[in-house]
């Protein structure tokens, strides 16, 4: 019976059924409660059963309160009924087999984010303490971040498994307006857009990084500082460090060119690429913090010039650009996890 009127008007037997169904609804898992159609289906089926049973108990007369009450008693505990609806998925170490890929991906994302946040934090602390202390703080931060992230993600997924969530319940459906279909000329099939550069692209980046890096490290004119217009005593090692970072970056890109379409290794190297990028931020911040490297010598050579402002603008520009680059790398790691190498194809190795 689907006769539903306000609580005050409900006659007792209807109220009893309503109370029972409300009790079951309260304890149902969220994925079922939020699916209006499925919820209606579940409740209608239970309600129909109660009225069938009550009618049988009333021996084909109109069921009275006591018949409905007995029928409800025989239905069992609402909590137990609701619990049965939660049983979805195959259990595997407290998390259902269906949710394992999501669990795994979430851990990777959290891991990458923790790594990134700690690198950025380290970049801002360089120059404010001993190198060993800064690195130790970074590792401590990473360890704590990984441990908290791991515990939190595991707890969430155990709970989701216990409530019978499946990956399809976690996906957000895109609601798009229905548009009039336009008649278009058949377009040429486009090449699927790659999430990361092609092997050729990585190779070029690698070669450029290695060449410029080594050039800056071994730049021969560094030995002839008297020819320069200002004192380069501290700037030379700075440029050599920069060259070293470019060499590391180039080496990583070169390795990526050799790896090809190996998902996990590409993700690993994209993650490793964050290291030289964060070092670039640290190195440029040194120009701001340690004025003896660039500002003081330039001021000696160009007294009265607003050198400090130009350096600040340059440092901010490089740091922001590098940070954006790092975020792009992280997004590539995540997109690789979910979409594979091409945006249009799903591919997980």
Partner 1 sequence: MFRNIKTYRPEALIGSEQFRSYVESFESELLRGISTLSALSIVKRHLKDGIYGYQLLKELEAETKKILVIEEGTLYPILRKLERDGLLTSERKESGGRPRKYYKLTEEGIRLYNHMMGFFSKLLEAISPLMEVEVKLPEKKFLYCPNCANKIPQEEDIKFCNICGLNIEGLAK
Among 1, 30, 305, 324, binds partner 1 (CB under 8 A): 1
Q: Which stretch binds partner 1 (CB under 8 A): 49-57, 122-130, 146-154, 324-332?
A: 49-57
- 8 A C-beta contact, residue 286 and residue 238: yes
DSSP state, residue 96: E
Q: What is the DSSP string of 122-179?
A: HHHHTTSS-HHHHHHHHHHHHHHHHHHHHHHHHHHHHHHHHTT--HHHHSPPPP----
* Letter string b/e over residues 289-307, b meaning 16 or more CB atoms within 10 A of that residue's CB: eebebbbebbbeeeeeeeb
CA dist 7 and 15 (Å) reads 7
Q: How far is the CB of 39 from partner 1 (least distance, A)?
A: 12
Nearer to partner 1, 1 or 155 (CB): 1
Radius of gyration of the chain (CA): 32
Q: Which stretch binds partner 1 (CB under 8 A): 76-84, 135-143, 180-188, 309-317?
A: 76-84
H or E segment and range at residue 95: strand 95-96
Q: Is 22 in the site for partner 1 (CB under 8 A)?
A: no
Q: Which of residues 107-136 bind partner 1 (CB under 8 A)?
A: none
Nearer to partner 1, 58 or 265 (CB): 58
Nearer to partner 1, 88 or 262 (CB): 88
Q: Is 260 in the site for partner 1 (CB under 8 A)?
A: no
- 8 A C-beta contact, residue 232 and residue 222: yes
Nearer to partner 1, 55 or 290 (CB): 55
28: left (phi over 0), alpha (psi -120 to 50) or beta: beta
> How many residues sit close enough to partner 1 to count as binding (CB under 8 A)?
24
Q: Is 35 in the site for partner 1 (CB under 8 A)?
A: no
- 8 A C-beta contact, residue 47 and residue 36: no
Q: Is 48 in the site for partner 1 (CB under 8 A)?
A: yes
Q: Is 26 in the site for partner 1 (CB under 8 A)?
A: no
Q: 73-79, long-range: CB within 8 Å, 24+ apart, which pairs? A: 75/20, 75/46, 75/49, 75/50, 78/20, 78/23, 78/24, 78/26, 78/27, 79/27
Q: Is 7 in the site for partner 1 (CB under 8 A)?
A: no
Among 51, 104, 212, 251, binds partner 1 (CB under 8 A): 51
Among 63, 78, 213, 297, binds partner 1 (CB under 8 A): 78
Q: Is 61 in the site for partner 1 (CB under 8 A)?
A: no
Q: Is 283 in the site for partner 1 (CB under 8 A)?
A: no
Which residues contribute to the site for partner 1 (CB under 8 A)? 1-2, 24, 41-42, 44-46, 48-49, 51-53, 74-78, 80-81, 84-85, 87-88
């Amino acid at each position: 019976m689907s006769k539903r009127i306000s609580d005050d008007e409900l006659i007792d037997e209807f109220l009893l059924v309503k109370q029972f169904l409300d009790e079951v609804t309260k304890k149902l898992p969220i994925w079922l409660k939020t699916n209006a159609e499925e919820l209606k289906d579940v409740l209608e089926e239970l309600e129909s059963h109660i009225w069938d049973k009550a009618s049988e108990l009333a021996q084909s007369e109109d069921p009275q309160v006591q018949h409905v009450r007995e029928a409800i008693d025989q239905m069992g505990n609402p909590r137990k009924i609701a619990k049965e609806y939660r049983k979805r998925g195959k259990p595997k170490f407290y998390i259902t087999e269906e949710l394992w890929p999501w669990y795994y991906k979430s851990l990777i994302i959290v891991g990458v984010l923790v790594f990134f946040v700690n690198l950025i934090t380290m970049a801002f602390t360089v120059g404010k303490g001993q190198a060993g202390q800064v690195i130790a703080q970074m590792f401590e931060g990473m360890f704590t971040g990984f441990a908290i992230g791991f515990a939190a993600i595991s707890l969430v997924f155990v709970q989701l498994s216990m409530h019978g969530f499946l990956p399809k319940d976690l996906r957000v459906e895109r609601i798009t307006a229905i548009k009039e279909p336009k008649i278009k000329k058949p377009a040429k099939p486009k090449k699927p857009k790659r999430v990361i550069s092609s092997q050729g692209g990585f190779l070029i980046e690698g070669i450029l990084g290695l060449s410029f890096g080594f050039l800056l490290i071994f730049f021969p004119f560094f030995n002839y500082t008297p020819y320069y217009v200002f004192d380069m005593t501290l700037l030379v090692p700075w440029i050599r460090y920069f060259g070293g970072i470019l060499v590391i970056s180039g080496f990583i890109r070169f390795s990526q060119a050799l790896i090809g379409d190996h998902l996990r290794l590409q993700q690993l190297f994209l993650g490793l690429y964050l290291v030289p990028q964060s070092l670039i931020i640290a190195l440029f911040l040194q120009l701001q913090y340690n004025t003896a490297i660039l500002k003081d010598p330039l001021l000696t050579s160009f007294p009265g010039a607003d050198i400090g402002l130009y350096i600040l603008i340059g440092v901010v520009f490089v740091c922001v650009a590098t940070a954006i680059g790092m975020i792009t790398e992280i997004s590539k790691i995540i997109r690789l996890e979910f979409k594979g190498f091409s945006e249009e194809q799903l591919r997980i190795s």
